[in-house]
Chain A
Amino acid sequence: MNKKKVVAMLLAGGQGSRLKTLTKHIAKPAVPFGGKYRIIDFPLSNATNSGISDIGVLTQYKPALLNSHIGIGSVWDYDRNVGGLRILQPFTSEDGGRWYTGTANAIFENIDFLEEIDAQYVLILSGDHIYKMDYNDLLEVHKEKCADVTIAVMEVPWEEASRFGILNVDESMKIVEFDEKPENPKNNMASMGIYMFNWKKLKHYLVEDSKNKNSSHDFGKDILPKMLEDGNKMYAWNFEGYWKDVGTVKSFWEANMDLLGENNTLNLYDKDWRIYTRPKNLPPQYIAETAIIDNSLINEGCVVRGEVNNSILFSETRIEEGAVVNNSVIMSNCTIKKGAKVNNAVILEGITVEEGEIIGKEGGEEIYLVSDEGILVE
């Protein structure tokens, strides 16, 4: 059986500077999400659930925590005899060391790796996105259309379309035009930054692009428009489901709150499409007699004695008696002391909110980001 090999390349070097103190010590893919996960758990789990057995994870910005979180990938069953997960960091060679200067450049620098493992298809993924996707659906369309590249797209609200890279297609979903952040979008199909390439074709364009001094070495800005210009077969595949790129503190907070909404479409309880993360081996949560909990997600090791409404508590967080937490995301190892009130906040790991302290306003529009550097309002 000569099975054609898909290799996933997961771009996880992003800084996510608009997330402010959330990414002070860690890369954006390592940002905690949904009570117990880190954002990168979603693409990694998608990859393993899609049966992809080779994956390269490209890290660059503050990789220490990300690297130890991923380890050898055993959590996602990537500790394999044949195939598996490799962390691909920038490296030095005869002509010196180079950082990854763009999404395409990061793949270009790892051409040897992809050749070595004999990739047929290369699936480009981003470590910044929260979604559940079976990449086989994308691969099927790609094969069916005999495409050179197939791009996952999704319909976004028309009023937001000008924030995205918009793809204009013909009736067969063949891409006819790229429209990067258009002022007057012709349609609302946005690129999700998920691409399935034929490796040979991609390699050719990566090498060519690397010689172009004016290129920013980016898939969306350079590689894909160039491929279209040259008349390659490029198709769009329409994804339906939850997808979020959390760019700002507010959208990070919103994405977490989405999980508590009545119309939530990101089902974390689906046993056939589990999201895996490194286990912390903590005991269960304890809910005391004095606790009042309403529409909230609570993780292992928490002790709740106070009031928690519409909130997400990560592991080992303690809510003391009389404390009130509303519409907030509280990360691991925080303590909310007696009589403290927390509204519309994102509280980073290990923070103690002192007795009687009040953070945020009830019913306000602002989000309060609490870290050891103080409180930022957004």
Chain B
Amino acid sequence: MDRCIGIINGGDNENNFGGLCKHRPVYMLPFGGRYRLIDFTISNMVNNGIKSVAIYTGKKMRSTMDHIGNGNPWDLNRRFNGLFMFPPILENDYGLYTGDIHQFHSTEPFFEYAKEKYIFICNPDILAKVDLNEAFKYFLDTDADFTLIYKKQTDSDGDFIRKDKMIIDKDGNLKSMGLNLGTEKEFNLFLEMGFIKKDVFLKLIRQSIERGDTNYLRDAMIQNKENYKVNTYEFKGHVENISDLKNYYDANLNLLNEEIANEMFYENGLVYTKSKDEPSTWYGRDSRVQNSIIANGCIIDGNVENSIIFRGVKIGKDAIVKNSIVMQKGIIKNDAIIVNSILDKYTTVEAYARIAGSSTMPYVVEKNQTIRKDE
């Protein structure tokens, strides 16, 4: 994997998350008690031996800067290679920049200068612990220009409606790409990740800029697929495609399934994140915790059930937290009740206050908010 640069293409698709993405990009959403979505992507790259990781941050990049820092948790704070952060360029003399093609074009020297000949590119909103070494080997062995990674996804609940659907021929080459409308029991879900030869990548970028016919790499690739060898690689593990509040909530609670948790947390190596140096979690005499994921630094005196509790949360006596996600440093006071809710960082729920969403539409408390009891 030394010969491959990793690119994280952080988009600006933040409208479907209630208040959670007011101040952060989707890939910075907290996940699994102590992580951010992007931790899974970076860690998987690093664990598979990628030495250079470039992050296209998108516009709301303050939390990204704070979290990623110099890349230390992922050992990307190298003197050679390591982490590259690309804040967005929003306009130039010719007009507004809209798609990722323009972002890639503006960082062309980075690609030209890099000695690596191949690129792994992915969307950090999709979590899948793909064995990148295996996939890379397939890409090289088949001498493909692109290898796109997909999963044969069943979707009885319609969670994957309007997601990218790939039509693949019997040799594993891409025939076409469309949207899943749920007409088939199982479809080929494009995981928005894949390998590409660097010279092909640069050629497509320049061509798209010159012709002005597309703003996105994905579209450029599909429009030109007749000219290149575009094949596919199947991933068989668990996938979370975080695209709205509901599937973000579900993806978190899915971690209460032991098999899924083990795959997400341990497969192909550990997930690294910024350390908060919290002590262990203390469970008080009156606490009752069932089927929950609890991070360190919490002080738990109340009841927690089917929930994900992030670092440094305090839950008071006789409080009830059920089917909920409580992010970092949340304070739930005595006798408060929280059901089917997502509490962003640094929220406070006062004593005897009650909040509840439904399992299909969780209630969201935004960052730094305080919920008081109704008078």
Q: Which A residues lie at the B interface, using CB under 8 A?
A: 34-36, 268-269, 274-277, 279, 281-289, 291-300, 308, 312-313
**Bound form: Cα–Cα A194–B290 in Å:** 45
Considering only CB atoms, which chain B residue lies closest to A292 in the complex? B288
Whether B282 lies near A300 (C-beta < 8 A) is: no
Least CB distance from A320 to B in Å reads 13
- The stretch from B79-87, B160-168, B230-238, B295-303 touching chain A is B295-303
Residues of A contacting B284 in the complex (Cβ-Cβ under 8 angstroms): 295
Q: Which B residues lie at the A interface, using CB under 8 A?
A: 32-34, 73, 256, 258, 261, 265-266, 270-273, 275, 277, 279-285, 287-297, 299, 304, 309
Whether A276 lies near B271 (C-beta < 8 A) is: no
| Known contacts A282-B270, A283-B271: A298-B281 contact under CB 8 Å | yes
Whether B280 lies near A34 (C-beta < 8 A) is: yes
Whether B272 lies near A281 (C-beta < 8 A) is: yes
| Known contacts A283-B34, A283-B261, A299-B296: A34-B287 contact under CB 8 Å | no
Residues of A contacting B277 in the complex (Cβ-Cβ under 8 angstroms): 274-277, 279
Whether A275 lies near B271 (C-beta < 8 A) is: no
| Known contacts A269-B299, A300-B295: A283-B279 contact under CB 8 Å | no
Residues of B contacting A298 in the complex (Cβ-Cβ under 8 angstroms): 280-281, 283, 294
Considering only CB atoms, which chain A residue lies closest to B265 in the complex? A283
| Known contacts A34-B280, A36-B280, A281-B272: A287-B290 contact under CB 8 Å | yes
Considering only CB atoms, which chain B residue lies closest to A74 in the complex? B72
Residues of B contacting A268 in the complex (Cβ-Cβ under 8 angstroms): 279-280
**Bound form: Cα–Cα A269–B280 in Å:** 9
**Bound form: Cα–Cα A297–B265 in Å:** 22
Considering only CB atoms, which chain A residue lies closest to B72 in the complex? A74
Residues of A contacting B287 in the complex (Cβ-Cβ under 8 angstroms): 293-294
Whether B289 lies near A293 (C-beta < 8 A) is: yes
Residues of A contacting B288 in the complex (Cβ-Cβ under 8 angstroms): 292
The 7 closest A-B pairs by CB, nearest first: A35-B280, A284-B33, A283-B265, A268-B279, A293-B283, A297-B280, A284-B295
Residues of B contacting A296 in the complex (Cβ-Cβ under 8 angstroms): 282-283
Whether B296 lies near A291 (C-beta < 8 A) is: no
Least CB distance from B177 to A in Å reads 34
Whether A287 lies near B294 (C-beta < 8 A) is: yes
Considering only CB atoms, which chain A residue lies closest to B34 in the complex? A284
Which of A274, A276, A284, A294 sits near B294, CB closer than 8 Å?
A284
Considering only CB atoms, which chain B residue lies closest to A288 in the complex? B291
Residues of B contacting A300 in the complex (Cβ-Cβ under 8 angstroms): 34, 280, 295-296
| Known contacts A287-B294, A299-B296: A281-B271 contact under CB 8 Å | yes
Residues of A contacting B279 in the complex (Cβ-Cβ under 8 angstroms): 34-36, 268-269, 275, 297
Whether B291 lies near A312 (C-beta < 8 A) is: no
**Bound form: Cα–Cα A34–B284 in Å:** 16
Residues of A contacting B291 in the complex (Cβ-Cβ under 8 angstroms): 287-289
Considering only CB atoms, which chain A residue lies closest to B279 in the complex? A268
Taking A35-B280, A297-B279 as given, write out 20 further A-B residue pairs in contact, using a Cβ cutoff of 8 Å, ordered by the A residue number.
A268-B279, A269-B297, A284-B32, A284-B293, A285-B293, A286-B256, A287-B289, A287-B294, A288-B291, A293-B283, A293-B287, A293-B289, A295-B284, A295-B285, A296-B283, A297-B282, A298-B280, A298-B283, A299-B281, A312-B280
